[in-house]
């Protein structure tokens, strides 16, 4: 009998099924904490529909905690106990976007990038030491051509670095391609 992974990283491209697959890794019945990293935008109805689709899939006994600020997610993970319900974080690409926004990193200031690097390190540390069952969802964006603009390259590079560091501390790493999970570890 195999022991279930304590920390799982689920990677995938846009609409690959990564979120639904990650949700399916948790017990079908029982409590869970869903850490939602998206920032709501009242002026973006399409984005709000996407969020509503995710909310509609969640079982009634799951608790949603909105963690759009980088420190809020770290705090949630740091405070988790081994007896707590599993935590599902969806998704780290939106968490990183918020961190880049808050730091003003899109303009490329070294101090802003240092802030994001520090926050990334805090998140990886919190994931590694989280005592609850943890499932992380993140986009995989580095499989295509080098983007033609600075902001897209920055995002791709920063997310790739975050995913690589998280993969180091996770017991299980999955990649969803066309809805199919591939076990990387």
Q: Is 90 annotated as a binding residue?
A: yes
- Write out pLDDT tens, residues 33-61: 999 999 988 999 998 898 888 888 888 89
Identify the band that residue 158 occupies on the pLDDT scale cut at 50, 70 and 90: very high
Residue 90 has pLDDT above 90, yes or no: yes
- Write out pLDDT tens, residues 19-38: 999 999 998 788 999 999 99
**What's residue 53's pLDDT?**
86
**What's residue 140's pLDDT?**
94
Percent of all residues in the chain with a pLDDT value above 90, rounded to a whole number: 75
Phi (first) and psi of residue 79, to 5 degrees: -90, -5
Catalytic residue among 6, 54, 125, 156: 54
Identify the band that residue 5 occupies on the pLDDT scale cut at 50, 70 and 90: low
**What's residue 146's pLDDT?**
86
Q: Is 13 annotated as a binding residue?
A: yes
Residue 77 has pLDDT above 50, yes or no: yes
Identify the band that residue 4 occupies on the pLDDT scale cut at 50, 70 and 90: low
Please give the DSSP secondary-structure letter assigned to residue 39.
P
Is residue 17 within 8 Å of 32, Cβ to Cβ?
no
Q: Is 94 annotated as a binding residue?
A: no
Lowest-pLDDT range of 12-21, 74-83, 140-149: 140-149
Closest C-alpha to 135, from 10, 50, 16, 15: 10
The rounded distance, in Å, linking the Cα atoms of 89 and 150 is 28
Q: What is the mean pLDDT of the chain?
A: 92
Closest C-alpha to 165, from 103, 109, 122, 131: 122
**CATH homologous superfamily for the domain 7-183:** P-loop containing nucleotide triphosphate hydrolases (3.40.50.300)
Any bridge partners for residue 84, and if so which? none
Return the structure tokens found at 61. 């006994």
Phi (first) and psi of residue 140, to 5 degrees: -110, 110
Please work out, in degrees rounded to the nearest 5, the angle formed at the alpha carbon of residue 15 by the alpha carbons of 20 and 119. Answer: 80
Is residue 135 within 8 Å of 26, Cβ to Cβ?
yes
| Active-site residue, 6 included | no
Any bridge partners for residue 12, and if so which? 139, 176
- Domain ranges within the chain, ordered by starting residue: 7-183
Beta strands in the chain (DSSP E): 7-12, 32-36, 62-66, 87-90, 134-139, 172-177, 180-183
């Amino acid at each position: 009998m195999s022991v279930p992974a304590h920390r799982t990283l689920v990677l995938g491209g846009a609409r690959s099924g990564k979120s639904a697959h990650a949700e399916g890794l948790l017990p079908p019945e029982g409590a869970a904490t869903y850490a939602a990293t998206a920032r709501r935008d009242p002026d973006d109805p399409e984005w709000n529909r996407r969020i509503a689709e995710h909310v509609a899939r969640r079982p009634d006994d799951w608790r949603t905690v909105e963690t759009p600020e980088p420190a809020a997610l770290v705090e949630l993970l740091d405070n988790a106990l081994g007896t707590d319900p599993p935590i599902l974080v969806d998704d780290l690409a939106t968490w990183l976007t918020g961190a880049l926004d808050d730091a003003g990193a899109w303009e490329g200031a070294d101090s802003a990038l240092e802030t994001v690097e520090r926050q990334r390190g805090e998140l990886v540390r919190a994931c590694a030491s989280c005592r609850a069952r943890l499932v992380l969802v993140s986009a995989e964006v580095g499989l295509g051509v080098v983007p033609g603009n600075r902001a897209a390259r920055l995002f791709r590079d920063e997310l790739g670095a975050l995913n690589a560091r998280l993969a180091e501390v996770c017991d299980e790493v999955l990649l969803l391609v066309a809805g199919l999970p591939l076990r990387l570890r």
